[in-house]
Structure 1
């Protein structure tokens, strides 16, 4: 029993003293002071029961995949959201996502949960830091009131509102009768008409769309998805607008216009009514309007090759009309304000002395000050939201909660220190404590010992990951955790030591005149053949140096923090390409087609279509997923399961752990070198406990990051660039990661790591430290050398924190 639970029980005993009414009162008191979770079974949780004190800061620890997120997010937060949704009318619920009740026996004492996670803010090109918060809306009101010349209301300063005018019929009542009148209307918006508020225009390289020496019937189109004979292709060959046997370079001006740019036109193709549209607008709508990261690899490769993005020449990238840019306050336009570093913008707003808008200035100033307070003062409001890291996105979401007057709310955070330099972690700790001290319950999933140390209560899950986890190993105080003997307790005070000797570089990667974002013409030589770590406070220019200056040539492999995209059917086997050699091995052993061994193809169970579950939509109530009775959740048709490889059917193979599968495909009848190689890489990155068929949607952030790293290890690159590979890693897993980085370097690779974790810094052969601050206070190289030299000099913030970490 935990310290808190024991003390609560003791207090309860003293209150009951043989009185039934006293017992009832004590139970009510406890229910108001605790969140009780009994019998939680979401994902890998094994009938977990915990009692979490309210109005306290509780940190959930454990190795990656131990069940922390399953308990905090998938059980507590999910049930709170479901209960809140049920308070709305059936009509309103019809427009809301349906949420199933978590697998748990008892869950009471809940309050309203506000989840502040690391989900990216999306890659909508019109979404910026300003629009994602209230800052941009307040700025628009400010300029509509004080801007000179006056050009209109707040919409006139919005790049998401187009200027339109027209006329339409409206029904009015006159003399007791309803009559129709034609009235004109106009809306003045701030959207640049050229780029439609995106700030950039796209140009298509026509040579990448077709081979003009060929005719359409000879296969001239080279766009993915426009295969000869397919509907996309027949739309052009059978349109009747041009001769399909004529080479495209021989088209008349009119024919070329129709082929490339014709407006949507209804016509019959093979007796079917279809809409014909020129090739260029058709591609723009079908491909360029999508998030590039969500595209299939071959589509993304085509877009990278055929499309160039350039700053809009009309608005200069500001997204705004000339009128919106012409209206200024003290010579500053709204475009200028949005381009300022937020810390500078906050100072500009404070300097405005306009009593007529005093409440607005106060609110805007507080919002901007919150950015600075939370360590994001180096951003600008015009920064695209999709370019923020997971940690930056999470801290941006915190902005609206810092000034909230709500109390007795449960705030749930997912590793809030991700992306933070040790210097910034104390600031984050102060914010978490501030939320608690306002009377809120704060639940934090975290690995960093600096955050665990400030907890009032700790819940440690494990002991291992996946099926080896899912139990509560410890509940209590931080000091109790230290002496608990759990994996977290044993590694809590781990410190990596500086290496006695460092590797010698085999060459250098020269960067000259780097000036992306806040970099100030940086010249630096990154050593090759060693472990090189790039450090600096958040916003100092690390990612700008790596992403904007290291050429993405064939020899460079980038492993960043962009999320893995996949459906409920995606799993480690499909994502890594492992399923392909497995299917071929089954097909060869049984003399049948490989497609039979895909649950997304011919081998799928016909009842559940290979999903393994049947989903029942209950309209306004939460939908229900039940295991398919036909295939019993195995996803395959019964006839497919009659085929075996090494004595196992395909469903049994997908139920194996990575470690078990590595042994299975490494020898004997099932020996498959291609599959064995992929499995070996998964074991190398510490994912041996995952099952091959586990849905990607159930993986933790740390697991997804390492899955991506394992996939990229197959790339034929000589230089690996990793962006914070310790994100989501438990203290015990960091040591394994260091071993993996060493193996990569010892195998002849060059490894460049952008990282804040002091253990990785201490283990480096060479450190490049950027700073000294963030935004325009950063962007310079403030140190280059060995970790020992950095600790000895202590001339930078990183040096000071690393020295304290290694005990120097």
Structure 2
């Protein structure tokens, strides 16, 4: 596809170059030596199919170089404490300004982190309570659940008379708000010892059943060689002291196998290793162990507020700080607005602005005590925006990654207005986006393609929205796509009953979810969709839940290793060549001895950025040269891993390389729209939507009867939505039940049954406001979703008489 031409003003002269971000010769990831000029102080939207190179250009090149150059302005000493960043692969980058990245990465999973602590709202509340609350209990830290109350005494050196110094013993105390029972976590835990060890076995017989605690690993070797325990005695025969030492012993320094180590009892070690993280952010097998071994209950002393009695007793107008943080933010904003105290007027004004920003950005349904690790990618992104909405900075480059994720069509207009506000303050706004509603507000559009992966990486269009429509690019052709309602819907084969659902804001919801059909759960952000499905459906037997949580893995992990595809490939190579399968693993015997199978050599240059250079021995192929002499179907293992899913599907589908087990996995990857990925692409480079579709591909071979998908259109180009709908249809036609949480109207229109929650968010939602086929929702237009779906499928808008109920 040739680059579309549009009527554009002539290229600016050198004197005007300060109005442009000039990118020349960009080659990051799949970018093909592209050049593009981006207007400053304008809203530019980057479009293109998933994998076309949008993120490589915007995040991997422009934003990455801006951040790297800012880091270089600090002293060498300070840079030593900062993450090192390599220069992007680009010839020229001119006109950069400070880049602020607002991405979809979920916020930290530390259980001590909440929405309030992540946005400074808690800090302002603590100052407010330290000034106005009665009784007065101390400084702002007295209201912090992350600061413990401690006291003691110590020697201090005091200077007297200019030269004479003496040592005096002085007492000190720190008054914090942390609940002493739960240490500010709001929950306490009890351990199911039967899940930690098999008491009929000895340590040497493998008694410990904690993940990662085998006798071959360091943990097992420490317990076996500590000297406190008899490694050959069954645990049920331990003395009280031995059992205490196994389970509860405090940190003790010792030497095991000649190495200086610290011994810690099993329970505090598990608390340190596993329970310091949010359960929802754990790897599946770790999460399963924790849920099996640990029972979490609300702290009986603080009632889950995390705060000690002193902090809870100090109140403003009958409200303590725990009550304030538990309020829905929209209600808290109203409460703060009613406070009138001249002595803290500037603080109140700032706090009001922060809380109003939550409401303005569509997060008014959250509470400040909500753990930040439980926010969705879209919620996390919008939470990060809060601190920028009131900023007085101008001429900054704001970089957004699909800011409409998680937003109902009703809320997208509000997000668009926020993007415009940032631009109108004199900032450059760069947005990677697929939604036509946001593409339509762009001052300038850069379309990448024409395809994905190796078939992409080119600029195929630059210009306005009207010119894009006429350009003939894939994005231009599909910009005005509209799905139509099905002429008929499937008949359910049964129902999945939910009774009395009350997770988060749900109001004792009773609903029968039809089985054997495509069910779409809709509603504005915060209406209770995820609470209903993940709280009452996802944990049941035979239910597979596929979300967008990060896939845990190093840069050595790739689609081939994650899906299990590499196993049949290695066996096929081994069978044809008469050698061991382990030779064809870059993480095992086949690894290049110089780079250890990484393909690159990392050179630490101290205060300078760590340099990654292609390994000269294997030329980046990751394998030892002797391994590359073995072929399958005329290809060596490195050439196979460099293939795209689409090419590999053909390769393993016939001929000498025909491998049914590999071909089946590749078919699933292609079905979910990942045909452009290379088999060896690092998982760390995948977007949230790609991660979700990769998980779906791995689960498609499961024997589960019900699939739960959370916004599967995330990251999908308009042209790919139709392919997704075809996949959902194939799953249902194969006898599966599919439940989709989704905002995309094309998916709603394609549903057999819609469950709409609302009518609003937070305490204004949590109810079922519609159940039935999409056509009935469109005809009724009784909900916000119904109104937007009717407009999408081209149903005529209601007359004024109909809207007022006078018809």
TM-score, scaled to structure 1: 0.95
Name 2:801's counterpart in structure 1.
none
Counterpart residue number, 1:640: 627
The alignment status of 1:40 with 2:26, answered yes or no, reads yes
Note the C-alpha offset of 1:231: 4.7
CA displacement 1:511-535 (0-9 Å, x = unmatched): 0000000000000000000000000
8 Å contact kept, 1:658–1:692:
yes
Equivalent residue, structure 2, for 1:138? 124
- How far apart are the structure 2 equivalents of 1:377 and 1:58? 28
Determine the structure 2 residue equivalent to 1:427: 414
1:168 corresponds to = 154
Once the 2 structures are TM-superposed, how far is the Cα of residue 151 of structure 1 from its aligned partner?
0.6
Measured in 1, the distance between the counterparts of 2:683 and 2:222 equals: 38
Give the 5 Å matches for 1:5-404.
6-9=8-11, 26-28=13-15, 30-175=16-161, 176-228=163-215, 231-269=218-256, 273-290=260-277, 292=279, 297-404=284-391
Q: How many residues align?
A: 792
- Which residues of 2 match residues 265-664 of structure 1 at below 5 A? 265-269=252-256, 273-290=260-277, 292=279, 297-550=284-537, 552-664=539-651
Q: Which runs of 4+ in 1 moved over 6 A?
A: 1-5
Distance in structure 1 (CA, Å) of the matches to 2:574 and 2:475:
45
Q: How far off its partner does 1:214 sit?
A: 3.2
Give the drift of 1:316. Answer: 1.2
Name 2:709's counterpart in structure 1. Answer: 722
1:658–1:679: 8 Å Cα contact kept in structure 2?
Answer: yes
Distance change >3 Å, CA 235–CA 571, structure 1 → 2: closer
Runs of 5+ consecutive residues of structure 2 not aligned to the other structure: 796-807
Deviation, 1:134, is 1.6
Distance in structure 2 (CA, Å) of the matches to 1:605 and 1:620: 29
Instruction: Give the superposition deviation at 1:357.
Output: 1.0
Higher mean displacement: 273-282 or 742-751? 273-282
Deviations 1:341-365 (A, max 9, x none): 0000000001111111111111101
Cα 1:435–1:217, aligned 2, differ >3 Å: closer, same or farther?
closer
In 2: Cα distance, 1:714 partner to 1:554 partner? 16
| Mapped contact 2:147–2:177 kept (Cα < 8 A) | yes
Q: Aligned partners of 1:470 and 1:529: how far apart in 2?
A: 41
Structure 1, residues 13-60: CA drift from partner, whole Å, max 9, x if none? xxxxxxxxxxxxx412x2121111111111111111111111111111
Measure, in 1, the Cα distance between the counterparts of 2:277 and 2:349: 38
Offset of residue 783 of structure 1: 0.3
Indicate if the aligned counterparts of 2:6 and 2:467 stay in contact, CA closer than 8 A. Answer: no
Q: For residue 300 of structure 1, report the CA deviation from its aligned partner.
A: 3.4
Instruction: Kindly provide the CA deviation profile for residues 431-465 of structure 1, in whole angstroms up to 9, marking residues without a partner as x.
Output: 11111111111111110000111111111111100
Alignment CA distance shift 1:99-1:767 (3 Å): same
Quote the offset at 1:130 in angstroms: 0.3
Which of residues 714, 721, 734 in structure 2 aligns to 1:734?
Answer: 721
Shift in CA distance, 289/225, structure 1 to aligned 2, threshold 3 Å? same
CA distance in structure 2 between the aligned counterparts of 1:217 and 1:741, rounded to whole angstroms: 50
Q: What is the match of residue 22 of structure 1?
A: none
Distance 1:641 1:294, change over 3 A: farther
User: Once the 2 structures are TM-superposed, how far is the Cα of residue 703 of structure 1 from its aligned partner?
Assistant: 2.2
Measure, in 1, the Cα distance between the counterparts of 2:570 and 2:156. 63
Alpha-carbon shift at residue 86 of structure 1 (Å): 1.4
Using a 3 Å threshold, how does the CA distance of structure 1 residues 462 and 237 change in structure 2: closer, same or farther? Answer: closer
1:676-722 residue CA offsets vs partner (Å, 9 max, x unmatched) = 11111001111112111111223333322221221221222100000
Deviation sequence 1:207-256 (CA, Å, 0-9, x none)? 11122233444433222333346553344445444544443333333332
1:21 counterpart residue number: none
Q: Cα 1:590–1:230, aligned 2, differ >3 Å: closer, same or farther?
A: same
SS at match of 2:369: coil
The change in CA–CA distance for 1:230 and 1:773 in structure 2 (over 3 A counts) is closer
Q: Distance in 1 between matches of 2:271 and 2:413?
A: 47
CA distance in 2, matches of 1:27, 1:470: 28
CA distance in structure 2 between the partners assigned to 1:167 and 1:108 by the alignment: 58
- SS for the counterpart of 1:130 is helix
Moved more, 333-342 or 258-267: 258-267
Give the Cα separation in 2 of the matches to 1:229 and 1:420: 48
RMSD: 1.8
CA distance in 2, matches of 1:524, 1:158: 41
Question: 1:243–1:34: structure 2 CA closer, same or farther, 3 Å change rule?
Answer: closer
More displaced 10-residue stretch of structure 1: 126-135 or 281-290: 281-290
Following TM superposition, by how much is the alpha carbon of 1:575 offset from its aligned partner in structure 2, in angstroms? 1.4
Deviation at 1:2, TM superposition (A): 8.3
Q: Is the 8 A contact 1:294 1:565 kept in 2?
A: no
Unmatched tracts of structure 1, length 5 or more: 13-25
Counterparts of 1:714 and 1:7, CA distance in 2:
54
Query: Is 1:764–2:751 an aligned residue pair?
Result: yes
CA distance in 1, matches of 2:558, 2:261: 37
- 1:365-421 CA-to-partner distances (Å, cap 9, x unmatched) read 111001001100000000000111111111111111111111111111111100000
Name the SS for the 1:669 alignment partner: coil
Check 1:37–1:229 CA distance in 2 against 1; reply closer, same or farther (3 A cut). closer
Deviates more, 1:126-135 or 1:586-595: 586-595
- In structure 2, the partner of 1:19 is none
> What's the CA shift for 1:652?
1.2
C-alpha separation in 2, matches of 1:492 and 1:344 = 39
d(CA) in 2 for partners of 1:234 and 1:471?
54
- Report the CA distance between 1:797 and its aligned residue: 0.3
Structure 1, residues 513-568: CA drift from partner, whole Å, max 9, x if none?
00000000000000000000000000000000001111513300001121222221
Contact 2:5 2:461 in 1 (8 A): no
Whether the 8 Å contact between 1:3 and 1:477 is mirrored in structure 2 is no
1:570-619 deviations in whole A, cap 9, x for unaligned? 11111111112222222233333322211112211111111111112222
SS of residue in 1 equivalent to 2:297: strand
Distance 2:221 2:24 in 1: 61
Residues 615, 623 of structure 1: 8 Å contact kept: yes
Between 712-721 and 175-184, report the one with greater CA deviation: 175-184
